[in-house]
Structure 1
Amino acid sequence: MKSYFSTSYKQNENGYIEILLQIIKMMNINASNREVNDFLFEVGVNLANKHAVKNVDSLSGLHLEINDILTKMGFGVCQIEDADNHVIIKHHDLPVIDDGDFKNKWLQYFSVIMCGLYNSWFRQTGAPVELVCTIKEIIAPSDAVFEFKRVK
């Protein structure tokens, strides 16, 4: 029996999505949009602290490190591009849900979690506090574009 569980049993990634979906739906009903966003951003910050990037000395090194962490977490992958005075993060394969009425809100809220992650990962590499991760675009069903730049 032990052999079965150690080799054949695989965790269902959708299990954590279902739990998170229900939590976010309840928060959406019981709190303001700003409160939900603030809370989910902090969730991303806490996840980044738990899954910190190693010391990297280049944007390409950070890109590889982040993708390694994202893959292990089941959160998709990203492309990071230097755009002169800011960084563009193209994120692919965010977790998708089947709930038709909540799909757009889900993608928006999960993107806020990702902003918390990216913001913290860049801070861990020495980025100044004046630079902040923002959602530039959400592309259904599972992609988003973020910018890490100075907020005026």
Structure 2
Amino acid sequence: MIREAVEYQPAETDQWTMDGLSLLTAMIGSEVFGTATRGQADAFFGAVGRRIASLLQVADISDGDALMARINRLWRTLGWGEAQLRMTDDAIMIQHVGLPETLQGDVDGRWADMAPPLLRGAYDAWFRALGGGADLHTSVLQWRDGIMEIRHGR
């Protein structure tokens, strides 16, 4: 895995630059998914998402727009897009757009496996900080065409 990344020769059309943090993230993903079961890897990256969520205090927010403004400020700072909330009768639906679909140096393509549990863990932690009960669950419904659909509810 690391050898392929070191030997990787981008085509001139790749517009690829060496980004050490992206490369490190890609290599961590390759290592985790190469040694852990899928369930263990998802749990690990979900926990990382919860750590990301812990960077923001949200328990003092009671307004959905204010919540999303605070969360989106973090996502934009990370270069991870932004999200919108939509309330339904039985769930909160999150539409997250602009999340990078690939990472530079991710020759194994593990970002597509890492990103969903990362975001699921982050949103789950934020909703639990706002008082979400144990019977509520956060799940990624799909990630297609640059949009990740996430659901928090029963």
Out of 40, 50, 54, which is 2:55 matched to?
Answer: 50
TM-score by length of 2: 0.78
The aligned amino acid for 2:103 is: I
* Shift of residue 23, structure 1, vs aligned partner: 0.3
Paired residue for 1:146? Answer: 150
Q: Give, in whole Å, the separation in 2 of the partners of 1:131 and 1:61.
A: 22
Paired residue for 1:66? Answer: 71
* Shift of residue 76, structure 1, vs aligned partner: 1.3
Out of 93, 96, 102, which is 1:91 matched to?
Answer: 96
Q: Give, in whole Å, the separation in 2 of the partners of 1:110 and 1:35.
A: 15
- SS of the residue corresponding to residue 50 of structure 1 reads coil
Contact 1:54 1:65 in 2 (8 A): no
Q: Give, in whole Å, the separation in 2 of the partners of 1:48 and 1:13.
A: 27
Alpha-carbon displacement from aligned partner over 1:45-90 (angstroms, at most 9, x marks no partner): 1111133325111222212221112112222111111112101111
Q: Give, in whole Å, the separation in 2 of the partners of 1:100 and 1:65.
A: 29
* Shift of residue 102, structure 1, vs aligned partner: 3.8
Paired residue for 1:4? Answer: none
CA RMSD, Structure 1 to Structure 2 (Å): 2.2
How do 1:8-19 and structure 2 match up within 5 A? 14-19=19-24
Contiguous gaps of at least 5 residues in structure 2 = 1-16
* Shift of residue 33, structure 1, vs aligned partner: 0.7
Identity %: 20
